[in-house]
A and B are shown apart, each in its own frame.
Chain A
Amino acid sequence: MNIPSVVSFASAGVGAQRRLQPTRGSGPHGLTEDSQGQTDNAAVAPWKARLSCLQSSPWVAALTFHPAGHAPARWLPTEDSVNMAKEQHGTWFGFGFCGFGQVLGSGNGRHSVHSPEPLRASEDVCRVSASWSYTALVTRGGRVELSGSVSSSADGCRDAWASEGLLVVLRDKDGSSTELRAWTPSSALQGEPLWVQNLVSGADDPGEDEPSSETRASTLPLLPRAHAYVNPQPPFCQPLAPELRVRQLELGAEHVLMLCEAGQVFSWGGGRHGQLGHGTLEAELKPRLLEALQGLWMAEVAAGGWHSVCVSETGDIYIWGWNESGQLALPIRNPTEDKRVSRAELNEDCLEEEAAMTDLGAPAPFIAIQPFPALLDLPLGSDAVKASCGSRHTAVVTRTGELYTWGWGKYGQLGHKDSSSLDRPCRVEYFAEKQLQVRAVTCGPWNTYVYAVEREEI
């Protein structure tokens, strides 16, 4: 008999269905059978890339488009980056694991930071990409700074993406072309990169529409022009069917989450923890549309190690996957001895509550895996605008500038001044106390980076 590794199933399926409700939007949104949305295979085109040259040699691929004299594509900024550009006085904060000395807070050489601390960055940072043992900061001036197990910097960079096995940097080359460079992190951006790709940012290929004004500048691991994405394992560059019109792409430990222009979410990869959201534990080899979200327009997606989150344009959060540390904000099993011991050291209240529960003798219901999307309500009915996931925790920014975190908290990555895990969304009080409005959040596997500005006087 082959049994999967430790996994628990609760009646999550039934429960989740009850919770999945139409959004509060004014449009004809709803989960009806005849809602629009492509379930046929036309939208999920097979793996046909115009980038066939990639297949032959994924290592060094000279990928060029032939714009034939068209005007270069415009990198239209998103609403957010425009705002961020205006608010020059914003600051980045960080909390969580910093055992390799990655820039996080004041950098006292501590193992982890449990409460937000401002980053000691030299220039204005506009993007953060954090891997487990190092962090890459990208400044508005085009500088990439690495800190942690790798320490280095480079100029002329637009974007960076950090993982343990691969560091990818997007550089502006002379004129209108962009270059993608991939390194092993330990090379510290010195010497020859692993591979280089040239992406000439010409106009769209003939036959495609002009990018609409709502197109956002894609961020890694999605490549500009959204024709491919970076993968930490070989082949390092995976093509995407252009018909998908990918807007955002995020990678989990074994799955991929994708948002297309029409606000639809696709997922593929491993599914043993329900992270694909199709209601099964089976893997998917090709992008598959999340039917449970049909009719809903998603604004953003975020992928954790084994869980997935998406935020609708109306501010609702849908979440699914593995809930072993409460990263889905669903009830978890009574903690084992080990967790109780570690929690007792820092959070006495939490411990007593759990002890009381076990005394009652009745096993509390818990959900270990949520195989398809469940609607999550934030306290006070707040609307979500941004979300990011770490390996086993989740962070969400609300429209009113608050930050909520939940899930695994052993390294202080939740920012609640302790190391306890939570299975319900809790506000990070630090920002409210300091009169700060949170604008963006990016999670590394075991830490969290937050961008906040001073609250405007009314």
Chain B
Amino acid sequence: MLLGVVREDEKAGRGIFAPAEPVDASDEKYSPVRESERCMFLKPIYWLFGLIWFQGSEVAALVTQVLIMSEDTKGPTEPLVGSSTLWKDLRVLLPDTEEELKLELSEKVDRSLTMLLQQAVGLFYAGHWQECLQASEAILDYSWEKLNTGPWQDVDKEWRRVYSFGCLLKAMCLCQAPQKATAVAEALRVCDMGLLMGAAILGDILLKVVTVLQTHLLPGKQPARDPHQDEPFTKKTKCDSNAAPDVVLERAVPRLRCPTLQYFRKHFLVPGRPVILEGVADHWPCMRKWSLQYIQEVAGCRTVPVEVGSRYTDEDWSQTLMTVNEFIHKYILSEAKDVGYLAQHQLFDQVLGRKYIRLYSPQESEAVYPHETHLLHNTSQVDVENPNLDKFPKFAEAPFLSCILSPGETLFIPAKYWHYVRSLDLSFSVSFWWS
């Protein structure tokens, strides 16, 4: 059965079996990814680690975003800007006059809400902050209800834009005169919600607002750091009793070292074949200084969605939103009973620890026995490493690719691929979605 599959693929010129050793970087095909290519290659919309669940959308099913720490952003080592310039920095992001702010909402949005939003904008430009805040809350609550009506893929994008407008106005009003110390953190949380659930407005203005807010966040807001957190590896490792499984050669995910964008695109992206990319992560400045402490410093206050529970088919699995600080404290540094992790999609990039990953092609969908309910129809019923072969006989002969992903390696997972992931150490992955 397996051999048959091989031959078929080789005939089609898509041989699954690539050598396990990475190809030499001196080979012309594998020149380092150039700067411009890298930008196209990654093309994120915005980066933050966490995940979003988009029901029904194959590509965007799990959106994980990575906080990009390029040399341009102000790191925590620079002197922190005082709150006096916060309002100025924020206000300049919006158009000067009310007329220049184009809502451009379609007819699908309820007329009453469009009226309210126009009113809120008017209140903002007139300087009536409390009333604008009130109106923004109503806009947020109403659009939130729309976002929760029907399947996510059927939610009209206009309602998500309305939600973003609500977040924008609320965040601005909160920062207008930050009386409470928590106002800026609250504004940041609101913007994160807008980025997670909303859709782009006014040229991705929420991204710009978030950048401004983050640089103004004073250090007192972050919770006290654990002095022992310098050694995250030793604190808690989750090594299973059975050690890392053997990766049988003929079923290994192929590896490449620094391919060109064109090569990657032609041979893996377009045909939809998984591949491990080595050396790509070296291009990221963030990789050099990654540690839990650093993550907390630069992204601690950001809100991310987190899964709680080993498997989301478990009865006590749930999703929740929390800040990165909360996540780290609750699930990495403390003795949490639950397992929490930030889920990933498409491009895995290991930062700490190792992961065992298994991939099944979408052609094997029958053999992985997905659940029949609409809600879980993209989830397999099979326990991958301990399958019940009486109940799921086809699974035993379903071909798959596997690998152990180590820090610094990047795994490309094509859309619609069935994937199974098991952490071998305390692992912390960062990944992003791109289209």
Which residues from B are CB-within-8-Å of A11?
A: 315-316
| Stretch of A1-9, A75-83, A217-225, A291-299 at the chain-chain interface | A1-9
Q: Are A270 and B150 closer than 8 Å at their CB atoms?
A: yes
Which residues from A are CB-within-8-Å of B145?
A: 253, 305, 391, 445
Which residues from A are CB-within-8-Å of B316?
A: 9-11
Q: Which of A8, A134, A254 has the most CB of B within 10 A?
A: A8
| Stretch of B81-89, B373-381, B425-433 at the chain-chain interface | B373-381
A-B contact pairs, 14 of them (CB 8 A): A1-B62, A1-B378, A2-B55, A4-B375, A6-B321, A10-B318, A97-B138, A99-B134, A132-B110, A164-B111, A270-B150, A272-B151, A282-B375, A333-B320
**CB closest chain-A residue, reference B345:** A1
Interface size class of B (residues with CB under 8 A): 35 or more
Out of B53, B61, B315, which one reaches A9, CB within 8 Å? B315
Interface size class of A (residues with CB under 8 A): 35 or more
**Contacts known (A6-B305, A9-B317); A272 close to B375, Cβ less than 8 A:** yes
**CB closest chain-B residue, reference A391:** B145
Q: Are A3 and B151 closer than 8 Å at their CB atoms?
A: no
A141 part of interface (Cβ distance < 8 Å): no
Q: Are A306 and B134 closer than 8 Å at their CB atoms?
A: no
Interface membership of chain B positions 100-139, coded 1 if the CB is closer than 8 angstroms to chain A and 0 otherwise:
0000000000111101100000000000000000110110
Out of B56, B110, B320, which one reaches A8, CB within 8 Å? B320
Q: Are A4 and B55 closer than 8 Å at their CB atoms?
A: yes
B302 part of interface (Cβ distance < 8 Å): no
**CB closest chain-B residue, reference A252:** B149
Q: Are B116 and A99 closer than 8 Å at their CB atoms?
A: yes
Complex CA distance for A5 and B155, rounded to whole angstroms: 11
Interface SS, A side = loop
Q: Are A133 and B112 closer than 8 Å at their CB atoms?
A: yes
Q: A182 to nearest B CB, angstroms?
A: 16
Which residues from B are CB-within-8-Å of A272?
A: 150-151, 375
Binding site for A on B (CB under 8 A): 53-58, 61-62, 110-113, 115-116, 134-135, 137-138, 141-142, 145, 147-152, 182, 186, 189, 305, 312, 315-321, 345, 373-375, 377-379, 419
Q: Are A6 and B53 closer than 8 Å at their CB atoms?
A: yes
Q: B375 to nearest A CB, angstroms?
A: 5
Out of B54, B112, B151, B182, which one reaches A149, CB within 8 Å? B112
Q: Are A281 and B373 closer than 8 Å at their CB atoms?
A: yes
Q: Are B379 and A1 closer than 8 Å at their CB atoms?
A: yes
Report A380-403 residues with CB < 8 Å from chain B CB. 391
Which residues from A are CB-within-8-Å of B379?
A: 1
Q: Are A337 and B61 closer than 8 Å at their CB atoms?
A: no
Which residues from B are CB-within-8-Å of A333?
A: 320
Which residues from A are CB-within-8-Å of B186?
A: 337-338, 341
Report A78-110 residues with CB < 8 Å from chain B CB. 97, 99-100
Interface membership of chain A positions 441-458, coded 1 if the CB is closer than 8 angstroms to chain B and 0 otherwise:
000011000000000000
Which residues from B are CB-within-8-Å of A338?
A: 186, 189
Which residues from B are CB-within-8-Å of A336?
A: 321
Q: Are B182 and A5 closer than 8 Å at their CB atoms?
A: no
Q: B263 to nearest A CB, angstroms?
A: 28
Complex CA distance for A400 and B223, rounded to whole angstroms: 51
Additional 7 contacts, C-beta under 8 A, given A4-B55, A272-B375: A1-B379, A2-B55, A5-B55, A99-B134, A100-B112, A111-B138, A254-B150
Which residues from B are CB-within-8-Å of A445?
A: 145
**Contacts known (A11-B315, A99-B134, A336-B321); A280 close to B55, Cβ less than 8 A:** no
Complex CA distance for A1 and B150, rounded to whole angstroms: 19
Complex CA distance for A110 and B219, rounded to whole angstroms: 38
Q: B184 to nearest A CB, angstroms?
A: 13
**Contacts known (A9-B317, A165-B110); A2 close to B58, Cβ less than 8 A:** yes
**CB closest chain-A residue, reference B155:** A5
A186 part of interface (Cβ distance < 8 Å): yes
Interface membership of chain A positions 319-335, coded 1 if the CB is closer than 8 angstroms to chain B and 0 otherwise:
00000000000000100
Q: Are A5 and B152 closer than 8 Å at their CB atoms?
A: yes
**CB closest chain-A residue, reference B321:** A336
**Contacts known (A9-B315, A11-B316); A4 close to B189, Cβ less than 8 A:** no
